[in-house]
Structure 1
Amino acid sequence: MRKVLITGGFGFLGSRIAEHLGNLGFEVSLGSRTSRLVPQSLKNCKPVITNWNDTSQLRNVCAEQDVIIHTAGMSAEDCAKDPIASFEFNCISTMKLLEACKTNVRKKFIYLSTAHVYGNPLVGKLTEDSIPRNNHPYATSHLAGEFGVNYANAKGDIEGYNLRLSNGFGTPILEEVNCWKLFVNDLCKQAVTIRELTIHSNEEQQRDFIPISNITKTIEMIIHQKNPLSQNTFNLGSGISLTLMEMAKKIQSRTNHLFRFSPEIRTNPNLKNSNGGFLEYNIDRLKTLHLADNVNFDGELDSLLLYCQNHFGTSAI
């Protein structure tokens, strides 16, 4: 049985990865800055303290692990408020973790980065060879973290991979996780609470939405690779570009399928005639290495809508 450390293990993405790997029989350590109780829904998982100011403690935590999945990081909003802190954590703490992973046995290290390194908004055809152009602290600090992974990988300290995530969505594991600012999660919550779907941005803007189930499956496939992959940086998305209106209509359709009503879609009239911009978030590198799984939008949306109904809905539905 392989042992996995997930930093940010109690976060929105970290806990979903933990659930998936725990159900597969991995021994999962959930890294957190504070002591936490592990919910019963997370099988084969235990909490561990990750003290980012104590390299010796981090080294002890990493010593028994086969795989480190680094999901801990500051949000875009927090990075904008404190750019210095964004680099101290997203870059420097990542470097500390990489240093702690150095052993005689080369560990697998998976870093969860962001598609936003390429720009804001994301437009055009974007491959892993596209030049990152986003100067926002969220993007630049993550890119610096990627450079740290690349350096450690080149030295042979780790077998390192950077995953540039597009717009993930899905059901949270922990109720206290705040994932309701995400576009899809927000609309699903609106659907069952106010029976409307209000799009606050340009409805013609294109995004690459990816169910979290696809993210967790891709990570599983990378872990199972016996030999180092020929590439170490990947665009992780669905490879399917949808406008915000197209995604809203998908949510409207799934709401009708589950609850037999169609929430009205509302848009900002001041943005109706603006150009959303073409986007192709290219995932050919994943496909070439057989690391891309079938995308199941409906399954993830149904799960998310049912979660929203159970936690936020009314008896009227």
Structure 2
Amino acid sequence: MKILVTGAGGYIGSYLSTRFVADDYDVYILTRRLPTFTIDGVKRLILADVTNKQQLDQRLPKMIDAVLHLATANNVWCGRDPKQTMVNNWEGTQNIINWCIKKGVRRFVYFSTLQVYGKELRGVISEKSPVQIEDEYALSHFVGESVANLYSKVPKLDINILRLVNVMGCPIDKTVDRWTLVPNCFCKGILKTKGVHLQSSGLQNRDFVTLDQVYRSTKKILKKNNKNRKIYNISSGQTYSIIDMARFVADQTEKKYGSRIKVSTGLDLPKKANKFIVTSDLNKPVKRFHQTRLIKQEIEKILDLVGDSND
């Protein structure tokens, strides 16, 4: 299968590209600028802006079976330039889908966020749960989803939307700039600081999936035959507090380096943990002991990546 990964210079896009290459897919990657790292084995690296129709028409390959669309703004970029984020997620998504239609691409996958259901989730969250937009980042992705929805009745184009929970795991290179994510941010510099200090109480609960779980879910999607637009939550079905993740990092660091690591908290807010569970029509819930093991394995890989210097 020939796949095009947009946003392949990013955290998730670069990882998916690497994994699909390893699984003998023909992978074409699209980025706005030349990455600081290389992804060996790709068929072609394409430099283009998804908001520029002319660049897409001139530079993209003629024959593609599926597009994984990750050329959307992350929360950091959105915070810096929310207006451009909206333009990128609307026009960029529309341009890529129109290109898919012209070239006869059979599958289009839009990577969204669970935050379209709200910021501090409670209760059971399923694909049928109502959308509750509470910030510009969630709005930007709902805009992208809405564009995909406009094309959901196009014949011979299967459109899928993946709403990701918090994604964690080791990036393919140190220079992949997502060190603001939990627990990545805890790992970087931990040996120098000898601790993890949280600005909050750390009681906020989150559902975390690994990059590998995102890959496996995406691969499953590419093998499905959906006639109409389909939304899937990509979740583990388990929740961990922020302080849980900090302690996992501290434990793995102590195990690896023998250094005593202190975990401390700042403000006493929130005072209570938000309790919720995210269900998925695509994947079964993961047993807690198994998900914990996967998370700790990824933390160990991140610590290996940042190395002894922890710079």
Kindly state the Cα deviation for residue 310 of structure 1 after the two structures are TM-superposed: 5.0
Runs (5+) with no aligned partner, structure 1: none
Does residue 271 (structure 1) correspond to residue 268 (structure 2)? The answer is yes
AA in 1 matched with 2:119: N
The whole-number CA distance in structure 1 between the counterparts of 2:222 and 2:127 is 21
In the other structure, the counterpart of 2:194 is 195
The C-alpha deviation readout for 1:255-285, integer Å capped at 9, x for no partner, is 23322334111111x31671232121222x1
In the other structure, the counterpart of 2:283 is 287
Worse-matched range after superposition: 50-59 or 234-243 = 50-59
Q: Is the 8 A contact 2:204 2:270 kept in 1?
A: no
Misfit runs of 4+, over 4 Å: 35-38
Q: How does 1:296-311 map to 2 (within 5 A)?
A: 296-310=294-308
Q: Is the 8 A contact 1:59 1:101 kept in 2?
A: no
TM (normalized to structure 1)? Answer: 0.87
Q: Is the 8 A contact 1:4 1:66 kept in 2?
A: yes
Q: 1:271 to 1:36 in 2, by over 3 A?
A: closer
Does residue 141 (structure 1) correspond to residue 140 (structure 2)? The answer is yes
Q: 1:44 to 1:52 in 2, by over 3 A?
A: closer
Q: How does 1:30-69 map to 2 (within 5 A)?
A: 30-36=29-35, 39=38, 42-59=40-57, 61=60, 63-69=62-68
The whole-number CA distance in structure 2 between the counterparts of 1:169 and 1:105 is 34
Does residue 5 (structure 1) correspond to residue 4 (structure 2)? The answer is yes
Q: Is the 8 A contact 1:213 1:300 kept in 2?
A: no
Does residue 207 (structure 1) correspond to residue 203 (structure 2)? The answer is no
In the other structure, the counterpart of 1:117 is 116
Does residue 183 (structure 1) correspond to residue 182 (structure 2)? The answer is yes
Q: 1:288 to 1:168 in 2, by over 3 A?
A: closer
TM (normalized to structure 2)? Answer: 0.88
The C-alpha deviation readout for 1:236-258, integer Å capped at 9, x for no partner, is 12211011122222222222332
In the other structure, the counterpart of 1:236 is 234
The whole-number CA distance in structure 2 between the counterparts of 1:262 and 1:45 is 46
Runs (5+) with no aligned partner, structure 2: none
Any idea what SS the aligned residue of 1:271 has? coil
Q: 1:265 to 1:43 in 2, by over 3 A?
A: same
The whole-number CA distance in structure 1 between the counterparts of 2:260 and 2:215 is 30
Percent same amino acid among aligned pairs?
Answer: 22
Q: Is the 8 A contact 1:31 1:50 kept in 2?
A: yes
Q: 1:257 to 1:244 in 2, by over 3 A?
A: same
The whole-number CA distance in structure 1 between the counterparts of 2:51 and 2:273 is 43
In the other structure, the counterpart of 1:168 is 167
